[in-house]
A and B are shown apart, each in its own frame.
Chain A
């Protein structure tokens, strides 16, 4: 019992220390803070209204501006995760990772702390998007439960994509090789996830690929949380009648993906950092 308590204490203290350090790195420079905030602000204030105005929407029951504001959440969260993969490479090649490897913390604490720091940054960005969106006239139809569904999807998408970023960063090992992967892996799936148009207009085959993507499930659950009973995203995935059941299924899929991705990331981390 004492041993278990001690293990939990060691794990949590180590993770928390590394988490705070990662956040400090992210917020160390004004350019770093501005960089994480520019796209959400630009999107909500300029791009989303422009898209809504130009395209008008595909379903009269859906406010297209709100639709693409939520889509922005599913864009910025993975993008932030992928971008933070660079920090993994910098820490390994030029920085402090070796110090962490000889510290009395569990090795898994290192990638997990990074993932939690990235999630924190993502939540700040999400708050900015939702806040600005509301101010700009987004019609969120939600409830406290809906917000929880939304936040759960945000968190799982952030953790999954961070795990993918960590895996890729350790696998390629160099900033020059990792840079091109950021848009390729961090943004491309977003276009297929029902971000700007519903899944059912995708070509056959591509739609099936989209169904295997965490972006697709996360975005559908996010809209279920913030646009209750208006968005057909979940129905396009599961073709069922119960919104709650479909949301639970998508969240379950996301959880499995998150668990798998984090396990893979920790495994790769151990392999790449232990000779």
Chain B
């Protein structure tokens, strides 16, 4: 049985094959194309309206954030440190009090019905949050008791989740002895244990090596395939969000600056781009590029790399590269690549997701 099947079994609880069939028979997940508009009906399992949070010292972390997440959706919140992602997560998981606005999770208001919200959610935090005095198994059992999962069901689910996360052999070891990747997998298993309606993952792969990150995203994708669980996650790794998320909200300085499917965001930018690494100051190169009559989005600049999105890459790219060469621009490298959410992020915020300042060429 592979990881995806194990995870599916583990997250189906006592329903077994019947549950599996039930999930297979579910209607297809809604495709939220367009401009990120989600029907305001109550299919939304997470609904956030005009959310504001001001911390002491007049630090405005959120400046009126609104969005909805549909049942079964994987929703990504993207942004650099300080953008407001963790504050939003904190409000939705009832650990941060909003200054104004409202948030409803699984039909319950996060302020007035915090207990009911907490019963309906699972959370994997950005930092490791495990009971270090105990084993992984003990941590899972404690969670099951806190969420009041019946003993027999809890044991079955724990066994399935440990198997799915490839932790069975280390389950009785103290969590202090586990690697960072194992601890993170254990935390995700724990968050899934109560069969939550909404799973919150705050930077689920931060600080992990690529192989472990890959495994964790596979687990999340397995959830998407087999379960109607709703996932709200935040991540710095935009390419990973692009792969796994149905929709993403790009948050910048406490505001959502874009909310759409990754595909739609990339389409609005141009799906392919010419990337140019220059020797000189990019500022001296941009006027030359402007003179070439680019008809796509304005170039994006990050360090000494200039990215020129193209509306029709296969047609435009070869001739554009020829024209660039013809201008005698000192380039270390030039090539064609697909645009990514990193580019969209830079376009929308003027900064890289790691906080590095970028700049935009052309008229913005």
Task: Output the least CB separation between A84 and chain B (Å).
Answer: 14
Bound-complex Cα distance A106 to B146 (A):
11
Q: Mark A89-107, 1 if CB is under 8 A from B, else 0.
A: 0000011101111111110
Asked if A230 is at the interface (CB within 8 A of a chain B CB), the reply is no
B96 contact set on A, CB distance < 8 A: 274-275
B131 contacts A96, CB within 8 Å? yes
A104 contacts B90, CB within 8 Å? no
Asked if A24 is at the interface (CB within 8 A of a chain B CB), the reply is yes
B95 contacts A14, CB within 8 Å? no
B146 contacts A94, CB within 8 Å? no
A103 contacts B131, CB within 8 Å? no
Identify B55's interface contact among A98, A101, A275, CB under 8 A.
Answer: A275
A99 contact set on B, CB distance < 8 A: 123, 125, 129-131, 143, 146, 190
Given contacts A102-B94, A102-B123, A14 and B146 within 8 Å (CB-CB): yes
B97 contacts A275, CB within 8 Å? yes
Residue of A nearest to B131 (CB): A96
Identify A105's interface contact among B90, B123, B146, CB under 8 A.
Answer: B146
Task: Output the least CB separation between A16 and chain B (Å).
Answer: 9
Bound-complex Cα distance A81 to B129 (A):
25
A28 contacts B132, CB within 8 Å? no
Asked if A25 is at the interface (CB within 8 A of a chain B CB), the reply is yes
Given contacts A17-B146, A28-B133, A274 and B97 within 8 Å (CB-CB): yes
A17 contacts B115, CB within 8 Å? no
Q: Which A residues from 174 to 193 make CB contacts under 8 A with B?
A: none
Asked if B195 is at the interface (CB within 8 A of a chain A CB), the reply is no
A24 contact set on B, CB distance < 8 A: 133-134
B129 contacts A13, CB within 8 Å? no
B95 contacts A95, CB within 8 Å? no
B131 contacts A21, CB within 8 Å? yes
Asked if A10 is at the interface (CB within 8 A of a chain B CB), the reply is yes
A275 contacts B95, CB within 8 Å? yes
Asked if A273 is at the interface (CB within 8 A of a chain B CB), the reply is yes
Asked if B118 is at the interface (CB within 8 A of a chain A CB), the reply is yes
Residue of A nearest to B91 (CB): A275
Main secondary structure of the interface of A (DSSP, over half): helix
Residue of B nearest to A14 (CB): B146
Q: Which B residues from 97 to 119 make CB contacts under 8 A with A?
A: 97, 115-116, 118-119
Given contacts A21-B131, A275-B90, A103 and B97 within 8 Å (CB-CB): no
A10 contact set on B, CB distance < 8 A: 115
Given contacts A13-B148, A275-B55, A21 and B142 within 8 Å (CB-CB): yes
A94 contact set on B, CB distance < 8 A: 132
Task: Output the least CB separation between A274 and chain B (Å).
Answer: 6
Bound-complex Cα distance A106 to B190 (A):
20
Identify A98's interface contact among B95, B132, B133, CB under 8 A.
Answer: B95
Q: Mark A4-29, 1 if CB is under 8 A from B, else 0.
A: 00000010011001100100110010
Identify B146's interface contact among A25, A28, A104, A274, CB under 8 A.
Answer: A104
B142 contacts A17, CB within 8 Å? yes
A100 contact set on B, CB distance < 8 A: 146
A28 contact set on B, CB distance < 8 A: 133-134
Given contacts A13-B148, A99-B143, A104 and B115 within 8 Å (CB-CB): yes
Most chain B beta carbons < 10 A, residue from A28, A99, A105? A99
Q: Mark A262-275, 1 if CB is under 8 A from B, else 0.
A: 00000000000111
A104 contact set on B, CB distance < 8 A: 115-116, 118-119, 146-148
Bound-complex Cα distance A105 to B123 (A):
15
Q: Mark B134-145, 1 if CB is under 8 A from A, else 0.
A: 100000001101
B118 contacts A106, CB within 8 Å? no
Asked if B121 is at the interface (CB within 8 A of a chain A CB), the reply is yes
B119 contact set on A, CB distance < 8 A: 104
Given contacts A100-B146, A102-B118, A95 and B131 within 8 Å (CB-CB): yes
Asked if B93 is at the interface (CB within 8 A of a chain A CB), the reply is yes
B118 contacts A103, CB within 8 Å? yes
A98 contact set on B, CB distance < 8 A: 95, 125, 127, 129
Residue of A nearest to B94 (CB): A102
B148 contact set on A, CB distance < 8 A: 13, 104
Bound-complex Cα distance A103 to B118 (A):
6
Q: Which A residues from 98 to 132 make CB contacts under 8 A with B?
A: 98-106
Residue of B nearest to A28 (CB): B133
Task: Output the least CB separation between B33 and chain A (Å).
Answer: 33
Bound-complex Cα distance A10 to B114 (A):
13
Task: Output the least CB separation between B57 and chain A (Å).
Answer: 12
Q: What are the nearest 7 A-B pairs in CB distance?
A: A104-B119, A103-B146, A96-B131, A104-B118, A275-B96, A17-B145, A98-B129
Q: List 24 A-B pairs, Cβ < 8 Å.
A: A17-B146, A18-B146, A21-B142, A24-B134, A25-B133, A28-B133, A94-B132, A95-B131, A96-B130, A96-B132, A98-B127, A98-B129, A99-B123, A99-B143, A100-B146, A101-B95, A103-B147, A104-B115, A104-B116, A106-B115, A274-B95, A275-B55, A275-B87, A275-B95
With A17-B142, A21-B131 given, can you name 20 additional A-B contacts, CB distance below 8 Å?
A: A10-B115, A25-B131, A95-B130, A96-B130, A96-B131, A98-B95, A99-B123, A99-B125, A99-B143, A100-B146, A102-B95, A102-B121, A103-B146, A104-B146, A104-B147, A106-B115, A273-B95, A274-B96, A274-B97, A275-B95
> Chain B interface (Cβ within 8 Å of chain A)?
55, 87, 90, 93-97, 115-116, 118-119, 121, 123, 125, 127, 129-134, 142-143, 145-148, 190
